[in-house]
Chain A
Amino acid sequence: QQPVQSPQAVILREGEDAVINCSSSKALYSVHWYRQKHGEAPVFLMILLKGGEQKGHDKISASFNEKKQQSSLYLTASQLSYSGTYFCGTEQKRRDNYGQNFVFGPGTRLSVLP
């Protein structure tokens, strides 16, 4: 089941903050965040495991509310280099109940303007 991401797109000025949300109707084991710059491969940002933890590096952080099956990515004081498409990836139980699978969200396009 593909998670839902919101917003679909956001435009910021340098220095502004943004929040990208990812939600699923299925129970999640973990949430991963990736960023893909135009014409490049997606790059792993961070993983959030069950337990409601929050993680971050530099001015990008994320939280995971396992009860609500939601994760949020926080970008603080955005820089031009933050522009790209952000994908959440969710680890879910497989339909056949054998192990887990991994489903990406549709992505959120972030544009940071000078």
Chain B
Amino acid sequence: DVKVTQSSRYLVKRTGEKVFLECVQDMDHENMFWYRQDPGLGLRLIYFSYDVKMKEKGDIPEGYSVSREKKERFSLILESASTNQTSMYLCASREPGQGWPTQYFGPGTRLTVL
């Protein structure tokens, strides 16, 4: 079974702090994703990575950056956290392939910015 783990289930940070959210997958997947989930808005793509050191902006990249130094690890960085970044953050991974293969999600990190 594919396993996607996220470093924290709950995180509380102060406005202006630099925040790192870590995601690790154990299935050697090339593609990894960061989503933000808000009530009534569903899952919105922040960034994704096709391979190590490769990244591409999703639909809502403002205020975020990412890092992919190793294949199994994909980090989401909030350079200066703001209250409007309070949300649930979900990481996902998938194999590359035709169309859009199945994504496997981590359990999520609920971030609160005070």
Contact = CB atoms under 8 A, between A and B. Distances in A.
Interface of A: 2, 8, 29-30, 32, 40-44, 47, 49, 87, 89, 91, 100-107
Interface of chain A: mostly helix, strand, loop or mixed? strand
A49 to B, nearest CB: 7
B31 to A, nearest CB: 11
Given A41-B107, A102-B100, 12 more contacts: A40-B107, A41-B4, A41-B105, A42-B105, A44-B102, A87-B42, A100-B99, A102-B45, A103-B45, A104-B42, A106-B40, A107-B40
Contacts of B99: 29-30, 49, 91, 100
Interface in B82-101: 90, 99-100
A91 B44 CA distance: 14
Given A41-B105, A41-B107, A91 B43 contact: no
Kindly name the residue among B43, B102, B106, B108 whose own CB sees the greatest number of chain A CB atoms within 10 A. B43
Contacts of B40: 8, 106-107
Contact of B100 (A30, A41, A105): A30
Interface string B12-48: 0000000000000000000000010000111111000
B10 to A, nearest CB: 11
A85 B105 CA distance: 15
B81 to A, nearest CB: 23
Nearest to A100: B100
A32 B102 contact: yes
Given A103-B59, A107-B42, A42 B100 contact: no
B50 to A, nearest CB: 11
Contact of A42 (B41, B59, B90): B90
B103 interface: yes
24 contacts: A2-B42, A32-B102, A40-B107, A41-B4, A41-B90, A41-B105, A41-B108, A42-B43, A43-B105, A44-B102, A44-B103, A47-B102, A87-B43, A89-B100, A91-B100, A100-B100, A101-B45, A102-B45, A102-B100, A103-B59, A106-B40, A106-B41, A106-B42, A107-B42
Contacts of A91: 99-100
